[in-house]
Amino acid sequence: METIDSIFEKIGGLLEKTHLPEQISEVDFAGLFTNPWFLVPFIALVAYMIYKQSFRDLTIMGLLMGAWYASGTHYMQTLVVGDELQMNKVLPVLFGGAGVLGFIIYLLFGRSD
């Protein structure tokens, strides 16, 4: 157990040094999708996935991008008011996330190509 704790301590220290959670939460969506250094490889990836007819991977990528977008909405910002968790707002997010995760698991493991 001691080695696992030391691994998690190292990962936690790395996340603190790089400020990765703050960087992810402060992403400028409009700036990102108008930046050609991001947009050109992203469009090339989507075109390649369409060419290879990898619609499962396109669907998963779309769901993950949708979850990323939804995490920055005003609804998500109001889940915690003060120090109190708003249960009437958390349960739809919880069940929606469980539904999306279940659908991704179904796409990856549940059906054959």
- Dump pLDDT digits (tens) for 32-86: 778 889 889 999 999 999 999 989 999 999 999 888 888 878 888 888 888 888 8
- Dump pLDDT digits (tens) for 13-38: 887 888 877 777 777 777 877 888 98
- What torsion, rounded to 10 degrees, do the Cα atoms 68, 49, 100, 96 define? 50
Separation between Cα atoms, residue 81 and residue 56, nearest integer Å: 38
1 has a pLDDT exceeding 70: no
Rounded to 10°, the helix 55-70/36-51 angle is: 140
- pTM of the predicted model, to two decimals? 0.69
Question: Three-class SS of residue 47?
Answer: helix
Please give the sequence-ordered ranges of beta strands (E in DSSP) within 1-113, or none if there are none: 80-81, 84-85
Q: Provide the token pair at 90.
A: 């958390």
